[in-house]
Amino acid sequence: MPLRRPLRIHRRFRRIGRPAALIPPRRLLGLPRSQVAGREVPVAVGFRARLLGLAYLDRTESGPGLLLPRCSSVHTFGMKFALDVYFLGRNGEILAVRRAVPPRRIVACRGAAAVLEVPAAIRHRTG
């Protein structure tokens, strides 16, 4: 009777059993971090990180958010949750805020030097 090989688990599924909030996705791991609006967030510097942003991630995987420098508009195509989008000026001051932007939208702010994407707060409706 031939010996059977042990079952190999694909690397994407190895983190099952560990809290997802503690393990950032691979595309956010190597990014530099910056302190913005009281949060330490990864800074999207490469083409892929800037294009994808937080798209295709769960809310728990997105972490504190993502800073997109040299950007004045963002899209939410591929998002699984709503975003709070903060448009920042050259000195880091907040120029405009768009709250709870749903998936499949484009938002922009003229004159913004950077954009901070943050998962939208979960608001409970009463009444």
pLDDT per position as a tens digit, 51-89: 888 999 988 888 889 999 999 999 999 999 999 999 999
Domain boundaries, the chain: 11-119
The DSSP bridge partners found for residue 119 are 83
**Range 4-21 average pLDDT:** 56
Residue 29's pLDDT band, with cuts at 50, 70 and 90, is: confident
- Written as one string, the DSSP assignment of 85-100 is EEEE-TTS-EEEEEEE
Residue 39 has a pLDDT of 83
Neighbour tally for 96: CB within 10 Å: 16
Question: The pTM is what?
Answer: 0.78
Cβ contact 29:48 at 8 Å: no
Fold of 11-119: Jelly Rolls (2.60.120)
- Amino acid identity, residue 123? R
Task: Assign 64 to helix, strand or coil.
Answer: coil
